[in-house]
Amino acid sequence: MRQPTPLLPWLLILLPATAMVVLVLVLSVQTGWRSAIDYLDIIAELVLLGILLKWVQTASVLKRQQRTYWVFLAGNACLVWLMSLKLVEEVSLYNELWFQIAESLFAIAGVVLLSMGIAAWSRDYQALIDDTEAKKNQYKQLSITDALTGLMNRTAYNQRIEQFVSDQQPYLLMLIDLDHFKQINDRYGHDAGDAALKQVGALLGSNSRNQEDCFRVGGEEFAIVLTQCSLSQAESIAERLRTAIETHAIRWQDAELSCTVSIGLCLSQTGESPQTTYRHADAALYEAKQNGRNRVVVSH
């Protein structure tokens, strides 16, 4: 729907108001004028009229919600017309039936429409808040998600480890690295390498106790963080993951690629920094690579 021009709302409100005031003033020539004028009432009505006209200007923020904008504007217009007639009534003795009916209708319609407009604006505003919050959560999730594999990324890993350290909760760190990944890239291309990373990431996520504890922390390196788990249990989980990847055929176009992983496992110690735990797990991973790859090594 086409946006209203800035002048249009003022014309729709002020022209009818001016026409009614002029008409009543002309008709008042026959009925006469009040001899005693209550200037306090006139000042109060002028202030209220000014507030209503200010609302017309303020209502421009609602233009994106066209229905809300026009309902609010219609209610405001009725009250402006009412106050215009009330001002004339302060100086005129004109009091025909249509004049009284018009005031009553403007009062009722103004209150009803303005209430509807405010209620609609409140709903629109709440919807905007909900939408903003949803987008905020979406952006936050994207900031901690690895775009290629869909697993948590290095930022999320650091946040999770910081939480464990803050809570003084021990954890088991499993570092997983694809064996001979460079050969896949060199032989089949980087798209094949990406396919291998995505499928290995999916295997790790589906075979982990909690996918949110599975992270891609580097190029072909993944990490899994385990809690409330013994070292022997963690070693069994690592072996299961290694076997699942070894027996899985990486599908790339018409080819099936074999892939294995080396895994280093380390249990965090009380008072030990996250960097130290990571370094021990990385040393165990390096040992697994040196001893022929496709194996699990536990840091002692």
Alpha-carbon span 44 to 49, nearest angstrom: 9
Active-site positions read 220
Angle at which helices 66-91 and 7-31 cross, to 10°: 20
Sole residue written with tokens 């002029």: 22
Structure tokens at 5: 């021009």
Pairwise CA distance, residues 255 & 161, whole Å: 38
Query: Which of these, 223, 227, 202, lies nearest to 214 by C-alpha position?
Result: 223
**What is 160-227 written as a DSSP string?**
HHHHHHHTT---EEEEEEETTHHHHHHHH-HHHHHHHHHHHHHHHHHHSS-GGGEEE-SSSEEEEEE-
